[in-house]
Amino acid sequence: MPFKKQAYQPNIDAGIGLIYRLNALWNKADYAALEGDMEKWNFVLDIIYRNLLYRNNLDIEFKNDEEGKPMSIISVGLIKEDKIIHEWFRKRIREIKVNRLIAVKKRDKIEYYKSLEDLYTLMGLKDSWLRKFMQEKGLYLKEVEFNPGNAMWGG
């Protein structure tokens, strides 16, 4: 018996699910920041970043046969534009954590507190960058609506 082709259309746009998930993650990120839990804040921001990459293609390098057909995968990664800024933050956070560890070993309170302040400042910058990245993806709701009826009901 042949299968009937079904044209399933969800009642709610799938993008709304992503927005709910991102809002829940932003809530966790804000609480981690308020608690001063830099590790958790950073992990949640990384999860948000991965969720924001859902539309972007991966950079996949294949090993091809003589005919040019893919045989195996050599490497998989993010495209360069997505990777550059995120990698900069990762490298900078690592440097600050190393400086903090050195300060602890030397028992240098001034350097220790400076590294904490540097990390907090950098995490705030990473947080802001991701919010702007989310805005570029069109995943924030409108900030301004001149017609109050449209703002409340989307009309």
152 occurs within a structural domain: no
123 occurs within a structural domain: yes
The tally of domains found in the chain comes to: 1
Are 45 and 127 a contacting pair, CB within 8 Å?
A: yes
148 occurs within a structural domain: no
- The pLDDT assigned to 150 comes to 59
78 occurs within a structural domain: yes
Q: Which two structure tokens, joined as six digits, stand for 44? A: 């949640």
Q: Which two structure tokens, joined as six digits, stand for 1? A: 């018996």
Residues whose CB falls within 8 Å of the CB of residue 101, separated by 6 or more in sequence, listed in order: none
Q: What is the pLDDT of residues 59-98, one digit of tens each?
A: 777 788 888 887 887 777 777 777 889 999 999 999 999 9
Q: What is the pLDDT of residues 68-78, one digit of tens each?
A: 887 887 777 77
- 8 pLDDT exceeds 50? no
Task: Please give the residue range of the domain that contains residue 134.
Answer: 14-140
46 occurs within a structural domain: yes
5 occurs within a structural domain: no
Strand 58-64 relative to strand 70-78: parallel, antiparallel, unpaired? antiparallel
120 occurs within a structural domain: yes
Q: Which two structure tokens, joined as six digits, stand for 8? A: 């399933």
- The pLDDT assigned to 42 comes to 97
Q: What is the pLDDT of residues 116-147, one digit of tens each?
A: 999 999 999 999 999 998 888 877 655 555 55
3 occurs within a structural domain: no
